[in-house]
Chain A
Amino acid sequence: MPAGPKLELRGVRKTFRDRAAVAGLSFTLLEGEFVSLLGPSGCGKSTTLSIVAGFVDADAGDILIDGRSVNAMPVRDRGVGIVFQDYAVFTRLTVGDNLGFGLEARGVPRRIRARKIAEMAERLELTALLEHRAGGLNMSEMQRLAIGRALIVEPGLLLLDEPMSNLDAGLRATLRSELRAIQQSLNQTVLYVTHDQVEAMAMSDRILVMDNGELLQAGSPDAIYDEPGSRFVAEFVGDPPINSLPCTVNASGRREARTDSGVTVALEARTPMVGRYQLCVRPEHIRIERTAFDGAAAAEVRFADNLGAEQVLHVATGDDLLRVVTSPGFARVGDRVHVLPDAAHCHFFDVGSGLRVESRVDRPAHLETA
């Protein structure tokens, strides 16, 4: 049975003073989906979340939860749970009282409350801590408590606002899998706001990339990564970041894209491209050798980022600095190497609009972005 959309936004718009924070946003979330709103700070993602939650009124457009408009509905009737950036747990209350807070506020009888608290604590492995003050929890426990407190009232939709942005890198990785595990075991619909592309990639079923209040692209993590619809998305997603170089395709002569520093990428014979483009290629899609090979450009290793299992070389050809992922110990700073971007994985973007341009003829000229 196909599930109906849990949440739907239709042409939502919000202007603060003269600036459009959200400029006509439409998207849907299916039941049980984990969707991330990803974008740089100021892109409108947090405003969108506030509008869905009901903290902020939209200027125009509709918000539908379970197919019903909630535009005029106050926050507490919308059936959404929220986890804030700093978790906002009540540090002076016990873990149990924190969990039961929403139930008590809604007048749920004590006996039912106790049962639900016990169940939620069990699920989030907080049972042993129920009588502890929340102030003494560690970050993992704090996150689980915040999520538990939001989930215990059984919200149809869980909203998370950058819940990991204040945490250490290592802890984030752990909490990511914990959050995802909880979400899956409950089949909980989640809208997750973040500026961290790794977080979005790691957890989401779908990612909505936003910039300047607009939705740039929506798709699975792999789709966003493999087929960025615009230069912005290409450069925003991926670690280490994608290589982005201006290039020229001449109308006559060999069909190839040539960057200003002389790196060339062969194009299909029948490609319609002519003129200036932005060439983007991911660091793992550049062939790199110690010896010269056909079509390769000579380069010098300027920096080497040792990541343990692999290294990222920053190699200079002419004025361009290319990032290339290699195995550890492949080359050292100062070494001469030879590089060639893999033509099949090169993305081209219009210099003006930043939109994707297809270099091959067997694909539609414009990729669907939303």
Chain B
Amino acid sequence: MGILRIDGLSVRFGAVAALNDVHLDVADGEFFCIVGPTNAGKTTLLKTVAGLHRPTAGTVWLNDRNVDGREPRDRKVSLLFQNNALFPDRTGFDNIAFALRTRGASATDIEHRVQEVATQLGVTHLLDRLPRTFSGGEQQRVAIGRAIADHSDLLLLDEPLSSLDARLRTALRLQFKHIGRDRARGILYVTHDHVEAMSLADRIAVLHAGRIQQIGTPDEIYHRPVNRFVAEFFGSPPMNILDAGVVEEGGRLRLAGAGFQTDAPLIVPHAALPRSLQIGVRGEDIRVATVRSESTPNPARVIHVERLGRKHVLDVEIGTQRVRVVTTRNGAHAAGGTVWIGFTPQPQHFLDRDSGLFLR
């Protein structure tokens, strides 16, 4: 039994289709992430579920109840807006207490609950102050407090961490993992940050241009993307897509592209592969060495090195194609130098060059 089901949902604003035939369901107790770039329709989706937008077509079921045409307040959802939307003329306490008050909770209940939430989020010192005196992170935490103060069936979170700096983001991400779960039966979490989605979600829906591209667990999305968009959206750096052809060499199947050659994995049925395709390789599945060897037979030129502390990301050119490689910091590679690269493990992802879809 799901807490949320969305059936064929479309939302149009004038001539613009913000959402196009979206289907998804969120199971009881699930942490579900919607990921996509800006303007993918993520916020529209949340607001439609909350009842703030009217769908052009399709049905929303909350807790097995068709909620079409229902007012937001009758839906038992809670929504955290991307821009906080704290009431500027109300104190931290009054903001957090808002939903409890409109529901008519008793004064002692409100006091108790607000204190509990504020302690959990570390904002007790903000309860008597107005939002304009809060820092960005404090505003965000108070807004989270307002969203979770009252129990709801579904907690909708719209980019709750995007306006925060990296430090705070990591800290709050952890909090979400447990706070949310005991305050709502399900969580629908919108973000443009694939790392956030990977680390938080039970399942992820990838949204692009108003359409769902793929729904799956973080591992499925990362390791078995259905199309090029998903492959390139997840991972830092994104998956490399290289033009290649399939050649037979002494009975062995080889993949060859401009400037490189490598064994094709045995698991790939010969007939399934077109002669000309693209391969997808994650940056961490490419080995780099300063000398040529059996496992690193392909020469490449280093364009740029991103020094990210515990790892370095090399921009290298193989033939005419750009590839981004993740290395540990063992080798000292400098821009302009030559390195030797190899694919280990053998490439696992093959795309149909025309459709942009992965071959499975």
Contact = CB atoms under 8 A, between A and B. Distances in A.
A and B touch in the complex (CB under 8 A): yes
Interface of A: 40-41, 168-171, 173, 176-177, 180-181, 184, 195-198, 201-203, 220-222, 225, 235-241, 282-284, 303, 305-310, 312, 314, 325, 328
A177 B237 CA distance: 11
Interface size class of B (residues with CB under 8 A): 35 or more
B218 interface: yes
A195 B174 contact: no
Given A168-B37, A173-B238, A308 B166 contact: no
Contacts, number: 105
Give 3 nearest A-B pairs by CB, closest first.
Answer: A305-B199, A308-B222, A221-B307
A169 B166 contact: no
B192 A40 contact: no
B243 interface: no
Contacts of A197: 166
Contacts of B282: 308-309
A220 B307 contact: yes
Pick the most buried of B233, B303, B308: most chain A CB atoms within 10 A of its CB.
B308
Contacts of A240: 170
B306 A203 contact: yes
Contacts of A241: 167, 170
Contacts of B223: 308
Task: Classify the secondary structure of B's interface with A.
Answer: mixed
Nearest to B237: A173
A15 to B, nearest CB: 22
A305 B194 CA distance: 12
B303 A169 contact: no
B7 interface: no
Pick the most buried of B199, B218, B234: most chain A CB atoms within 10 A of its CB.
B199
Contact of B198 (A184, A308, A325): A308
Contact of B166 (A168, A196, A328): A196
A186 B207 CA distance: 38
B193 interface: yes
A325 to B, nearest CB: 7
Given A168-B192, A168-B193, 7 more contacts: A169-B193, A171-B37, A202-B306, A225-B310, A239-B170, A307-B195, A307-B199
B54 to A, nearest CB: 28
B308 A201 contact: yes
9 contacts: A173-B236, A173-B237, A177-B306, A181-B303, A196-B165, A202-B306, A222-B309, A222-B329, A305-B173
B310 A180 contact: no
B235 interface: yes
Pick the most buried of B170, B233, B236, B307: most chain A CB atoms within 10 A of its CB.
B307
Interface string B226-240: 000000111111100
Contact of B309 (A184, A201, A305): A201
B309 A225 contact: yes
Contact of B165 (A41, A283, A303, A310): A41
B313 interface: yes
B193 A181 contact: no
B89 interface: no
B177 A307 contact: no
A48 to B, nearest CB: 18
